[in-house]
Amino acid sequence: MRKLVIAALCGRLCAFGWGGEGHILIARIAYDQLTPAVRQRIAEILGPDKTLPSISSWADEVRRSRPDTANWHFIDIPINKPHLDMDRDCPKGDCVLAKIEDFRKALKDPAIPADQRREDLMFLVHFVGDMHQPLHCSDNQDRGGNSVRVQFFDRTLNLHSLWDSALLNRMPKEEELYAQYSADSAKHAKKWSKGTVYDWAEEAHKLSVKTTYGRLPKAPAGTVLTIDARYEQKADPVVRLQIEKAGARLARVLNEALQ
């Protein structure tokens, strides 16, 4: 379980949920789907010179100085289990799903001080994005893929880093992706924003079982796995879908919490 070792290892080994580009894309997509009133409320909370995209990776930036937040970015749902079990997978209430609920409730509380409200919003924006990265809702006794070494073209990295950023980095530039992803997210937003964070986590978990782990080449434990074009072709649509869904769902969460 990552929870036992994450604070000690993150400075060297642990990857973060989506890279900066992924989180920026999610925030930009979400912003397009916010109501005018909620956009204004966010501007008031964040203050001058801050936008939803600009703060979307803040929660990663503070992980080293605030190691108590490290477990908040993920939930370990075993890939050999068909469903989420909060008692099993988040017994201490310090996983990404529990924290999304905590921060969503906090934003609705008018008694929360301004500085705390700003921090709550920044965490919430990031964590809704994180939970859509399949390896942030799954585990194979490998620290969410951090212990699985892969060869991806000329790079040797781990499976988690592959899904955080390496796959996305081989796609078109951010502006081109944003135009495509935002339009598609808006088109399907009504459907995709239904359900709960628990439903969304189970969805990400199933994608991880089917594609993230399920498409890996068979090899002895400890072997560096070669990620070929066939794997990439199956993985890329999952990355796109999860970013688009995350944008629509973040918009729903913020519209509800800040209306």
Q: Letter for the amino acid at 256?
A: E
What's the pLDDT score for residue 16? 62
Q: Letter for the amino acid at 118?
A: R
What's the pLDDT score for residue 12? 31
pLDDT at 165 over 80: yes
Query: 148 is written with which tokens?
Result: 């699985």
pTM (two decimals): 0.93
What's the pLDDT score for residue 222? 85
| Contact between residue 58 and residue 127 where contact means Cβ atoms under 8 Å apart | no
Average pLDDT in the chain? 93
26 CB contacts (<8 Å, ≥6 apart)?
A: 18, 56, 128, 129, 132, 243, 246, 247, 250
Structural domains of the chain, count: 1
pLDDT at 6 over 60: no
CATH of the domain at 47: 1.10.575.10
Confidence of residue 221 (pLDDT cuts 50, 70, 90): confident
Pairing state between β 149-152 and 225-227? parallel
How far is 87 from 18, CA to CA, in rounded Å? 26
CA dihedral 242, 57, 100, 47 (to 10 degrees): -120
Q: In sequence order, what DSSP letters do the residues of 106-141 get, joined into one string? A: HHT-TTS-HHHHHHHHHHHHHHHHHTTSGGGS-BSS
How far is 150 from 223, CA to CA, in rounded Å? 8
What's the pLDDT score for residue 124? 98
pLDDT at 134 over 70: yes
How far is 200 from 16, CA to CA, in rounded Å? 19
Average pLDDT over residues 72-91: 97
**What domain range includes position 120?**
2-257
pLDDT at 11 over 50: no
- Residue 158: C-alpha distances to residues 16, 61, 153, 178, 190 (Å): 12, 20, 13, 26, 35
- Residue 157: C-alpha distances to residues 136, 153, 163, 194, 235 (Å): 17, 10, 11, 35, 16
Exposure of 138 in the CB half-sphere (CA atoms within 13 A): 28
- Count helices and strands (H / E) in the chain: 12, 3
pLDDT at 157 over 80: yes
Confidence of residue 233 (pLDDT cuts 50, 70, 90): very high
Other beta carbons less than 10 A from residue 252's beta carbon: 20
Q: Letter for the amino acid at 138?
A: S
pLDDT at 170 over 80: yes
Q: In sequence order, what DSSP letters do the residues of 145-211 get, joined into one string? A: TTT-EEEETTEEEEHHHIIIIIHHHTSS-HHHHHHHHHHHHHHHHHHHT-S-HHHHHHHHHHHIIII
